[in-house]
């Protein structure tokens, strides 16, 4: 009889995770995590909006261009 491979503890309650609900220990904890996402407790670091490229256009105008 072999023991199942050790899984990291449930990020919600810290109990040993179950392979069926990994990385959580139970359906309940999985739902809790899902609820946190919907309630906005998790902040996604990635930016949805790319940085404005207005600088490119403002710098296109070079006063020296009119000379000569
Ligand atoms: Zn749990």
Supply the pLDDT for residue 55.
Answer: 61
Cβ–Cβ < 8 Å for 19, 4: yes
Instruction: Tell me the whole-structure pTM to 2 decimals.
Output: 0.49
- Spacing, Cα 28 to ligand 1 middle (Å): 7
Supply the pLDDT for residue 20.
Answer: 94
- Tens of pLDDT, residues 14-51: 999 999 999 999 999 999 999 988 887 656 666 666 66
- Spacing, Cα 53 to ligand 1 middle (Å): 45
- Residue 24: inside a domain, yes or no? yes
Supply the pLDDT for residue 27.
Answer: 96
- Residue 8: inside a domain, yes or no? no
Cβ–Cβ < 8 Å for 10, 16: yes
Number of structural domains (the chain) is: 1
Q: Which residue in 11, 6, 9, 68 sits closest to 41, CA to CA?
A: 11
Supply the pLDDT for residue 60.
Answer: 65
Q: Which domain holds residue 36?
A: 16-42
Please say if the pLDDT value at position 63 is more than 80: no
- Spacing, Cα 32 to ligand 1 middle (Å): 9
- Residue 1: inside a domain, yes or no? no
């Amino acid at each position: 009889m072999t023991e199942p491979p050790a899984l990291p503890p449930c990020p919600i309650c810290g109990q040993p995770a179950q392979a069926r609900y990994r990385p959580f220990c139970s359906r309940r904890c999985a739902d809790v995590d899902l609820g946190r996402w919907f309630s906005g407790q998790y902040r996604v670091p990635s930016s949805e909006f790319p940085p404005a490229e207005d600088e490119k256009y403002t710098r296109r105008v070079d006063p020296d261009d009119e000379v000569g």
